Structure 1
């Protein structure tokens, strides 16, 4: 599976970046991270629209988009694995995931999403969500391969 992760904001050298790199090394799937800039001179809807334009500009029509959004479904790891299995079973060898900016995703990105998922109702630090997503992608890969990394 080829996965493209589109994120608003740039992650600089940090413990989070070290963890992301560790999961990238572990994962057999090809994962590309595309970081998009934000603008400090914009706020509210104009900022979300700017970020949406960037995200939408990096999407291919034929590749499903899974958006991380607080209004999304809160799947278990096994349910997320089933989602990826469904994608593979229906001929999709690629998927794009996106993480919006600190103010969330613009409606146009949510409308474009094939599916929206959430990491729960708690508020998480924006850059930590990337680490959590990378770990879940690694976990999904391990579940689908039958590896005992994931324990119920």
Structure 2
């Protein structure tokens, strides 16, 4: 199962980008034998619409454009469900074993997700109750995807 992260906003911070790339590379290596990956990260510019609702609508349309039939969509949402790392790994395993071609993770813009993106998501995922900048949310998500792969493979990276 391929993994795609579609995010509104581009990582400008070189250090954040380096961390994302490091964990993406690790995920591609560990996930290969598990049928996970490769991971693809798609960045979309923020909408320039004047109103919040229109911006969210435009950004949702951009995020959803790449989703195909048979794909599973998970939207990062502060009001979503929080998972332990083990439960997140189980979600990834169940999604893979359920026959999903791609698991798409959506990261909305500064105003959050539009209704279309939330409606398309089979899971709304919260990374915690703290507000994270988008770059840091991306770092946390990619690290947790790598951690999920190590849990599924029995690798000692995860020591809970």
Partner of 1:18: 18
Structure 1 unaligned regions, length at least 5: none
Q: Aligned ranges for residues 2-151 of structure 1 at < 5 Å?
A: 2-28=2-28, 29-151=37-159
1:20, CA displacement in angstroms?
0.6
Partner of 2:33: none
RMSD over equivalenced CA pairs, Å: 1.3
Using the size of structure 2 for normalisation, the TM-score is 0.89
Using the size of structure 1 for normalisation, the TM-score is 0.94
Aligned pair count reads: 152
Cα deviation 1:55-110 (Å, max 9, x = unaligned): 12221132000110111100011000000111122222421111000111011111
Check the 8 A contact 1:65/1:96 in 2, yes or no.
Answer: yes
